[in-house]
């Protein structure tokens, strides 16, 4: 379990606690810490900057001379060979002496006789990927959105929300309650004598009086393996990247951001410890969910595009015609959320931990979801 300290701070005040003191105290009180990672520790003197003007290099066909607004009175001249930059672009700029991940140091210099006081940076040079920066060019300079225009001169770590520390916990099998941010917040509050603040979620009713029963029926046909199954239908969905703060929290927790709907399910799982799944409603034949045992020899393709042959010891989430998910393990490719999904079914269930473990082991699958169900979640 990787715990984002910024996420933890939502529930218990740890701002004044040194990270080494925190790790030592939690280990002594029973929640063993394996280590921690400071994501922004290798980055120094990188700021949000705006390209005010670009002129061709007098002695190069591919170099360009950029005059940069870094939030100060004077412009800073930086020479770049990147071809995706343009006047008005907002970018990360390394100002000498700057430090980048992997020991890279940026100093003042000259490129073909022209002074350059820094470097413009790509997402890779900041240890970011297209998952944290969706829609951005992977091989060019990272072009930031216009929302960063009021952050010129701001430390890039703060601007991109990578100023976080992730603490890696080894959670033992008897403490499934600690496989969540709230669970570890409870441990933290008890260990340091701090107040714990866990808000009660507010469920907003539909204004039009519509009901889930108009769209979906749910039947549990194996009550010995599924104790409860709750489903909710959400209409008029627009699939898009999640907000940056959510993407960065998932990344700090070791989970790859995908899109807003999938990220919601992962966010809830990490915060509360309760795995969730989302189906494309239009792909559920008969608008029905059946929680049943698989048939011997039943075929199923998981979200990672791997084909599996199931047997009757395994629990599946199915519609009228097919299996759509391996219960507590992974969803199916036949009902996954896609770019054109408009209506979503969210599930939250309580599965038998032993059943989930058997299913995961037989299929050679180990997921964040199965790891939690196997340990026996509190209903």
Taking only the tens place, the pLDDT of each residue in 92-144 is 999 999 999 989 999 999 999 999 999 999 999 999 999 999 989 888 999 99
In the chain, list all ranges with CATH 3.30.56.10: 2-39+164-192
- Do 289 and 318 contact (CB within 8 A), yes or no? yes
| 343-369 confidence digits (pLDDT tens) | 999 999 999 999 999 999 999 999 999
- Tell me, what's the pLDDT at 312? 95
* pLDDT over 80 at 258, yes or no: yes
CA distance 246 to 264: 9
Give the Å distances, CA to CA, from 122 to 85, 144, 199, 248. 11, 11, 38, 17
Q: How far is CA 207 from the centre of its chain?
A: 31
End-to-end CA distance of the chain: give it in Å, rounded.
20
- Tell me, what's the pLDDT at 378? 83
* pLDDT over 70 at 313, yes or no: yes
pTM: 0.91
Give the 3-state secondary structure of residue 321.
Answer: coil
Tell me the average pLDDT across 143-147: 94
- Tell me, what's the pLDDT at 379? 82
**Residue 28 structure tokens:** 């002594």
**Residue 273 structure tokens:** 């410890």
Residue from 369, 363, 368 nearest 307 by CA: 363
CA distance 53 to 114: 16
Tell me the average pLDDT across 87-96: 96
CA distance 144 to 126: 13
**Residue 123 structure tokens:** 């997402």
* pLDDT over 90 at 205, yes or no: no
In the chain, list all ranges with CATH 2.40.50.140: 44-159
Which CATH code is given to the segment(s) 2-39+164-192? Answer: 3.30.56.10
* pLDDT over 80 at 206, yes or no: no
Tell me the average pLDDT across 214-234: 95
- Tell me, what's the pLDDT at 56? 94
CATH 2.60.120.380 is right for the domain spanning 212-374: no
- Tell me, what's the pLDDT at 321? 94
Give the 3-state secondary structure of residue 234.
Answer: strand
| 160-190 confidence digits (pLDDT tens) | 999 999 999 999 888 899 999 999 999 999 9
Residue 377 pLDDT grade (very low, low, confident, very high; cuts 50, 70, 90): confident
**Average pLDDT, rounded, for the chain:** 94
- Tell me, what's the pLDDT at 209? 77
Give the 3-state secondary structure of residue 168.
Answer: strand
- Do 362 and 329 contact (CB within 8 A), yes or no? no
CA distance 52 to 66: 7
Tell me the average pLDDT across 294-306: 95
Class of domain 44-159 (CATH, top level): mainly beta
In the chain, list all ranges with CATH 3.50.40.10: 212-374
Alpha helices in the chain (DSSP H): 5-8, 19-28, 156-159, 181-192, 244-252, 260-272, 353-362, 368-374
């Amino acid at each position: 379990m990787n715990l984002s300290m910024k996420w933890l701070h939502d529930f218990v005040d740890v701002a004044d606690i040194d990270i080494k003191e925190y790790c030592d105290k939690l280990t002594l009180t029973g929640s063993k810490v394996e280590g921690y990672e400071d994501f922004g520790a290798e980055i120094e003197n990188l700021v949000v900057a705006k390209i005010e003007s670009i002129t061709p290099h007098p002695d190069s066909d591919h170099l360009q001379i950029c005059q940069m607004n870094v939030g100060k009175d004077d412009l800073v001249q930086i020479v770049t060979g990147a071809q995706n930059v343009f006047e008005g672009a907002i970018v990360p700029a390394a100002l000498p002496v700057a430090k980048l991940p992997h020991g890279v140091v940026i100093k003042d210099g000259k490129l073909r006789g022209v002074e350059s006081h820094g470097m413009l940076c790509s997402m890779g040079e900041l240890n970011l990927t297209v998952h944290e920066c969706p829609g951005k060019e992977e091989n060019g300079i990272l072009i930031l959105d216009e929302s960063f225009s009021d952050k010129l001169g701001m430390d890039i770590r703060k601007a991109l929300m990578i100023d976080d520390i992730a603490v890696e916990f080894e959670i033992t099998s008897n403490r499934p309650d600690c496989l969540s941010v709230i669970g570890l917040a409870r441990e933290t509050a008890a260990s340091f004598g701090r107040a714990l603040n866990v808000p009660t979620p507010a469920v907003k009713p539909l204004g039009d009086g519509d009901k889930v029963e108009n769209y979906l029926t749910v039947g549990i046909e194996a009550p010995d393996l599924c104790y409860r199954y709750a489903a909710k239908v959400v209409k008029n969905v627009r699939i898009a990247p999640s907000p940056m703060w959510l993407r960065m929290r998932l990344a700090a927790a070791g989970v790859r951001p995908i899109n807003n709907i999938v990220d919601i399910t992962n966010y809830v799982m990490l915060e509360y410890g309760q795995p969730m799944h989302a189906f494309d409603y239009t792909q559920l034949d008969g608008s029905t969910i059946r929680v049943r045992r698989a048939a011997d020899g039943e075929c199923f393709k998981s979200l990672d595009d791997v084909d599996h042959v199931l047997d009757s010891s395994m629990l599946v989430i199915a519609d009228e015609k097919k299996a759509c998910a391996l219960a507590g393990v992974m969803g199916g490719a036949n009902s996954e959320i896609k770019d054109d999904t408009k209506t979503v079914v969210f599930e939250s269930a309580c599965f038998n931990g032993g059943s989930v473990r058997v299913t995961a082991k037989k299929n050679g699958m180990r997921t964040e979801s199965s790891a939690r169900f196997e340990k026996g979640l509190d209903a």
